[in-house]
Every structure is written in C-alpha cells, then in structure tokens.
Amino acid sequence: MLEIAQQQLLAPAGLELHHLDKVLDHLLSHQVDLADVYFQSSRLEAWTLEDGIVKEGSYNIEQGAGIRAISGEKTGFAYTDELFLPNLIEAADTARAIARSGQRGTVAIESRTARHQLYQPVNPLDSLTREEKISLLHDVEQEARHQDERVRQVIVSLVGAQDIVLVAASDGTMKADVRPLVRMNVHVIVEQAGRREQSSAGGGGRTRLDYFTEQQRGKQLAREAVRQALVNLEAVDAPAGQMPVVLGPGWPGVLLHEAVGHGLEGDFNRKGTSTFSGRLGEQVASPLCTVVDDGTLEGRRGSLNIDDEGTDTGYNVLIEKGILKGYMQDKHNASLMGVAPTGNGRRESYAHLPMPRMTNTYMLAGEHDREEIIASVDRGIYAVNFGGGQVDITSGKFVFSASEAYLIENGKVTVPVKGATLIGNGPDVMTKISMVGNDLQLDPGVGVCGKEGQSVPVGVGQPTLKIDQLTVGGTV
C-alpha cells in the first residue's frame, strides 16, 4: 500500500518521506499536541443509462493534502491541492497558528503496515473495460424492463472509485491505504391505471466492478427495484399513531445508526451534548441488544484497513446486552477523554477535518424466527425498506422513513402501506425492543452518512426485530 501511495501521491510532486518529517517538524515548532498530514488522490468514474441509452459518463479527480495541528481542545486546519513542499509548508504555517509558538520537537515517523487487508488495492475503474461497463448497464436495464410491462422508466448508474491515502502524524504514524469502492443503483418508475410509483435498489462494496456481473448481482438489483415499485402500486394509506413495529433484517439497521450510533460518537460525548453522555455502564437498551461498530468486515462499504488518522479499524462493542460499553473515537477526542482511539477517525476528504464516525454498525442476532416475531403482533407495521434517517443527538429524537412497509393484522402480514416516517427517542426505543431475530443481515452496500456537512460511506445491519411501540407517521 505504502509503495502505491508513494508512487501515486508523493513522487509526482517530487516529495519523499523525509519531506513529511520536515512538514511535521515545522508544525511542532508551535505548542502542538498532535499534528498530521493527510494526502489523498481519488479517481471516480460514473456511468448512467436512461431511456435505454448510456447518456452520461463522467470522470472525477480529487487530490490534495490536509494539514492539522491540535493544541488542547483547539484545532487549526488548512489544505492545499498543490502537493509541492512549499505549499505544504505554507499550509502548515496556517494550521499551526492556532497554537503558541515556542515548543521545539522533532518527529520520527515510522512506516507500519496496517493490521488488516480487508480489500485488494485494485483500481475498480480498470476492473471492467468500458465496453463491459456499457453492456452491464444495458443487461441490467433489460432485466428490469422484462420483469413487468408496467415498468415505464429505468435509470441505472454504475460508479467505481479508487481512493489512495497516506497519513503521517507527529505521534510517529505513517500509514497508507488504497481503497476501492463500487456501487450500482437501479431506479424504476412503474405505472398502473394512471398511478405512478418509484423505487430504487442498490448495492456494492470495496471491490471490483465485476462484482455486479458475478452471480447476476446487477440483474438481482433490477429485479428488486421492480418488485418494490410494484408493491408500492398496491399500497394503501399508512396508519398514524403509536403501534408495534417489526423491522426487517439488513438495511432497516439504519435504526441503530440513528437511534444509538450517532449518539455514541466520541466528540458529542466529550462535549456532553449527547443523550448518551456520561452513561457508560448503564442500561440503555433492552438486554436482547448487542450493538457493534465493526470496520473490519471484508469488502464491506463501511470497512477500512485504517481510519483516516492511520489507526487500525476495530470491532468495537458499543452496547452489550443492553449495557453501554463504549464510544467511537478519533485520536483527538480519545486523548481528551483519556481512552484509546477506536479506529473511527474519518473524513470526507483531505479538505475536511477528521471526526468520530461510524463504519459498519449492526446488532448481533437473537434467537427468534421471523415468523414468530410477526405472529406476536396483533396490529402493527412490518417495515422492510427505508430511505434515510436523521437524529437530534441531544434530545435523542430520531426519524427514519419507510419505503416498503406492510400492515400486520392478527399476526399476519397483510396489505402494503405507503411510505411513512417513523419517529422515536433513541434510548427509549432501544428499551422497547422485545424480540430479536436469528437472521442477522448486513445492508447491500448503499449507505451514506452525513455529519456536519461531511459524507462518508457506511454500512448497517440487523436481524429482524420488534419494537413494542413506535410512532408511525401515516395519514389515517
């Protein structure tokens, strides 16, 4: 990894590793507790098929270096898209201005390899030829159109990206990572007797583009998108009010991301602004719940060999049998809270500051069969697909919006209902989880998490689970 990073990032600008020492030394001539330099070079290629033709293709270059200096709770940050030494020194000058001058330090950075190799350092852009990419898009579109004559519109997109990063820090860190990421999305619009509905299905991970040709994964997405859209054609108005809600496995794990995930990020807890602040060791969920954030799953969208501060990612238990066990940390917040970083320091790009972020967040399996769980509900909602969610980490209120849901009546799934927003209070909802399924699934690889204006890819997952009472935002 380091060789690739040196070759692609440093060599074109005439930089060598000892120059990084020099930049860090420059930063440390002020009273700085931690300083780092983050180099990034990304290439992204995207294709879109619509109206039966591949009408758009685009290629994106993003590269630069971000330089950060931390002194106590203060952070100075600057970046440059020109990677030459004088530009780096200038950015370092700007970043270190947050701290008083005076201290003198030298850094000996030492290159280490990451503990994990969760994905190959491939370039997804080259993993299929352009002809193969075009024909994949057409195959997927045809698959969608052949599903049903009510399909009116099919939009298929294919994205491949390679992200090469190198981080050097005043604590001696020197690590690199080469991160592939692919994604396919199928959006369909269906029509029946004047009623139109839409649906999307997507997937991907840190792998090559032929992931979508293998095992017909691309075509599977097409079938899934059409299936959901046709279900929506039959949907009746959703009910309004509090009722039991059964969440399907996989992507509905966005519940955990919103209800507990964000509230357990280290920065909010250091500042005491989260509803979970100061509650380590307390019961914050039903004893059936064990929730982890796991950056070490092979090839997953939210996985990383190292985080963006060079810390090895980990399998971090957040909640164990309902007891709050730990927060997710980056270096800065970990050091201020006197704990170890957990490999959750992430940033959107070199032009953004790192902060504690989730990787793949999921709940471990329980012991119930899905059928048993549904059979236990007299009247409620069974929600299996969701759009996005949002949380207010201070009050704990969170929402997530169902895009495929059904009524449960007398223990049976009956009619589909229109999309509705579900709202609850994180700590309260987690204590109302009364049954956990034995069918843990991870999402198909589509998650994007936004925090303070920064987007990063994440994963979620969960088994089927039952929440005794949640507010459903329907219209009847």
User: In the bound complex, what is the minimum distance in angstroms from residue 342's beta carbon to another protein?
Assistant: 22
Minimum CB distance to another protein smaller for 290 or for 329: 329
270 vs 355: CA distance, rounded Å: 12
Distances (CA, A) of 20 to 23, 175, 236: 5, 12, 61
429 vs 293: CA distance, rounded Å: 19
User: In the bound complex, what is the minimum distance in angstroms from residue 99's beta carbon to another protein?
Assistant: 10
Minimum CB distance to another protein smaller for 84 or for 315: 84
**Is the Cβ–Cβ distance between 288 and 464 less than 8 Å?**
no
Minimum CB distance to another protein smaller for 117 or for 394: 394
User: In the bound complex, what is the minimum distance in angstroms from residue 80's beta carbon to another protein?
Assistant: 7
410 Rama sector, left if φ>0, alpha if ψ -120 to 50, beta otherwise: left
User: In the bound complex, what is the minimum distance in angstroms from residue 66's beta carbon to another protein?
Assistant: 10
SS3 of 83-145: the string is CCHHHHHHHHHHHHCCCCECCCCCCCCCCCCCCCCCCCCCCHHHCCCHHHHHHHHHHHHHHHH
Give the residue among 103, 41, 46, 116 at the shortest CA–CA distance from 70: 103
User: In the bound complex, what is the minimum distance in angstroms from residue 79's beta carbon to another protein?
Assistant: 7
User: In the bound complex, what is the minimum distance in angstroms from residue 141's beta carbon to another protein?
Assistant: 12
Find all residues with CB under 8 Å of 18, minimum gap 6, and list them.
Answer: none
Residue 30 DSSP one-character state? B
User: In the bound complex, what is the minimum distance in angstroms from residue 317's beta carbon to another protein?
Assistant: 25
Minimum CB distance to another protein smaller for 232 or for 296: 232
Minimum CB distance to another protein smaller for 157 or for 303: 157
Question: Which tokens in the block code for residue 163?
Answer: 């992200």
459 vs 425: CA distance, rounded Å: 22
425 vs 427: CA distance, rounded Å: 6
User: In the bound complex, what is the minimum distance in angstroms from residue 174's beta carbon to another protein?
Assistant: 24
Minimum CB distance to another protein smaller for 42 or for 286: 42
Minimum CB distance to another protein smaller for 397 or for 432: 397
Minimum CB distance to another protein smaller for 101 or for 475: 475
User: In the bound complex, what is the minimum distance in angstroms from residue 77's beta carbon to another protein?
Assistant: 5
Minimum CB distance to another protein smaller for 241 or for 338: 241
Question: Which tokens in the block code for residue 62?
Answer: 């993003």
Find all residues with CB under 8 Å of 26, minimum gap 6, and list them.
Answer: 89, 92, 93, 96
First to last CA, the chain: 56
**Is the Cβ–Cβ distance between 227 and 196 less than 8 Å?**
no
